[in-house]
Amino acid sequence: METKSVQPGNTIPLLTPYKMGKFDLSHRVVLAPLTRQRSYNNVPQPHAILYYSQRTTRRGLLIAEATGISNTAQGYPMTPGIWTKEQVEAWKPIVDAVHAKGGIFFCQIWHVGRVSNSGFQPNGQPPISCTDKPLTPQIRANGVDVAEFTPPRRLKTDEIPQIVDHFRIAARNAMEAGFDGVEIHGAHGYLIDQFMKDQVNDRTDQYGGSLENRCRFALEVVEAVVNEIGADRVGIRLSPFADYMESGDSNPKELGLYMAESLNRSGILYCHMVEPRMKTVNEKCECPHSLLPMRKAFKGTFIVAGGYDREDGNKAVAEDRADLVAFGRLFLANPDLPKRFELNAPLNKYNRHTFYTPDPVVGYTDYPFLETQN
């Protein structure tokens, strides 16, 4: 399994090759999906060509930022979509740039559910969810602004298949744009997570109550996407332990294990799990083995994410707790992150204040590479 790195005598687990289905990865460092809010009018922009290509290595895996599946999927300014022809066409040169450097590029498809307000919705209507329970106002990532949420409209039972179909069409559109696959966003308090978590889901139909019923929507989405583009091109991101956007669960271990086992039936390529230590933005606990039952249960590639650095990423791979490790903030600020890991070089510090600005350069494509530093 292990191969020698450039440095003689040293094996860096994160930089060993890995076969993910039909994709031969040259290393195990993954670009996590990162919302950057620079897609004006929900259309990907040319400046994303440089952003993603900067972070591309030959046969490295990148997961694109969360991308809306429909005009009801939005909850943040300037996030990209993939439900219109214009959006699909705008993605094509971005995907081409990643492929030109030998990268493997997956599109994360997304619906925010109740994490929205009527200003983001067509005709000013309420956002949709599994529930009509409102979300309390939240302090935004900048620590200053407050996000207000419109009370959601509970989806009727016979409306749910249409939302499943929107995920299917988004996956088809991602293939049309040239992506290598899709990651279904089932984490962090957004629509799929809202259905799964008993803190949110208060339904009494076949999509609520028991664990099986609460996971039904997620698994129907997976099935629809698999039937459209093939299981070998599908991943899912889950965060059973997280309580983002008031989406906690009374038994996250049971939820995570049930999903890991159920996903095996569809034979999807990978499961991308978020560590319980990342429960809130500023909270981190050390619980390195919490995902092990899910890791052991899931038959495909297992990706972990959540505050990893070089040392504990290497340890997770070396101890076989993960096949791949996704990095967010570190990759955002260090476009050459795998090279820096190889050399154990210093890392650029990320600037949280520029994570979500609309600027096409600042905090986006201006983080320096090793060779441009003094």
Residues serving a catalytic function are 190
> If phi over 0 gives left and psi between -120 and 50 gives alpha, with beta otherwise, what is residue 123?
left
56 burial (CB, 10 Å; 0-12 / 13-18 / 19+) is buried
Q: Looking at the chain, list the stretches that DSSP marks H as alpha helix, in order from N- to C-terminal side.
A: 47-54, 85-100, 160-177, 191-196, 211-214, 216-229, 252-263, 292-297, 310-318, 329-333, 337-343
For tokens 């991101």, the residue is 237
Concatenate the DSSP letters of all residues of 63-99 into one string. EPPPEESSTT---STT--B-SSHHHHHHHHHHHHHHH
Distance CA 195, CA 190 (A): 9
289: nearest Cα among 320, 312, 321: 321
Task: Evaluate whether 187 touches 239 at the Cβ level (below 8 Å).
Answer: yes
Secondary structure percentages of the chain, helix, strand, coil, to 5: 35, 15, 50
Sign of CA dihedral 163, 166, 168, 174: negative
> Residue 292 pairs with which residues in a beta bridge?
none
